[in-house]
Amino acid sequence: MQNILIDDFQNTVGESLVRHKSVIDIMTKLGESNSRINRALAKSVTNCGCIKISAEKQKVPNDISLEDVSEHLSYQIGGKICDNCREVLEKEIGMNLYYLAALCDALDISMFDVLLQEDEKIKTLGKFSMR
């Protein structure tokens, strides 16, 4: 079922792409989309204030095993994203997925296959994937 959903999405994007059919256009729109996600997240902090980012060096004890590292790490986000900011971020992430699907379509790469390969890599390596 998931294969159909992802493949259908990629095919729909490929069929709907008219203005930015060039791979150069797709590349630049994907980069712009990444920037818009970052901007929307920053505005959630600086304009709305629904969340707070408390970034600092993550403190991990030296004698800890890799399996226990995640217990000492956090996303460094305080608060909860409001409905308005969530809506904006979901829209921007959706556009990002659109252009990612367009790039995959242009290069004849299956998003579903990429997703499966990445999932398998993560499941195999787990925390050792070090991402």
Give the pLDDT of residue 31. 97
Residue 17 lies in a domain: no
pTM: predicted TM-score of the whole model, two decimal places:
0.85
Q: How far apart are CA 47 and CA 100, in angstroms?
A: 28
Looking at the chain, the number of H-run helices and the number of E-run strands are 4, 2
Q: Is residue 20, in this structure, part of any structural domain at all?
A: no
In a domain, 5, yes or no: no
Is 16 among the domain residues?
A: no
* In a domain? residue 15: no
Place of tokens 């990629």: 10
Whether 65 is in a domain gets the answer yes
Is the residue at 4 inside a domain?
no
Residues 39-91 have pLDDT tens digits of 999 999 999 999 999 999 998 888 888 778 888 889 999 999 999 999 999 99
pLDDT cut 70: percent of the chain above it: 94
Tokens of 93: 């992430």
Q: Is residue 68 part of a domain?
A: yes
Structural domain of 55 = 27-129
**Total domains in the fold of the chain:** 1
